[in-house]
Amino acid sequence: MQRDPLGVLFVCSGNICRSPLGEAIFRHQARDAGLEDRFVIDSAGTHGWHEGELADPRARRVGEKHGVEVTSRARPVVAGDFETFDVILAMDRGHLRELRGRCPAPLRERIRLMREFDDPPGGDVPDPYYDGEDAFEHVFDMLETCCRRLLVEIR
């Protein structure tokens, strides 16, 4: 029996650093596992500051270094995302609060903190925007672990 694809949305502030990396890493891991067709994978920002832009060049370079293509374009979270996506992953507690505040009460259980899937779980994915390439590398490593554990949980 064919199942409907599970919607997975990664969310950060402007959708140019953390969430596009999460989207790209998860897509890459799902593809490697032969499961890409089981998911609808996207990313968005709590704000539309960078709408239509490609991910930060540092995020794209770090992804490329690891064989992960980061191709998404920034967009803001819209009301329909809460219905469309089954799992919504906030990169930090600020995003978590904002998303829960905007989400209809019956759907709030869909929103989770990305680092719930870290080892050990907990905390925020730090924003690398104001730092150098090393910060993006650190975030990539963190997201790679989280995405791997997320894939295991929801597959």
Out of 17, 18, 103, 146, pick the active-site residue. Answer: 18
Active site annotation includes 127: yes
Active site annotation includes 18: yes
| CA 77 vs CA 1, 102, 118, 122: distances in Å | 32, 10, 24, 23
Out of 73, 127, 148, 149, pick the active-site residue. Answer: 127
Name the burial class of residue 119, with classes exposed (0-12), middle (13-18) and buried (19+) by CB atoms within 10 angstroms of its CB: exposed
| Residue 149 token pair | 């554990």
Residues annotated as catalytic (active site), given as ranges: 12, 18, 127
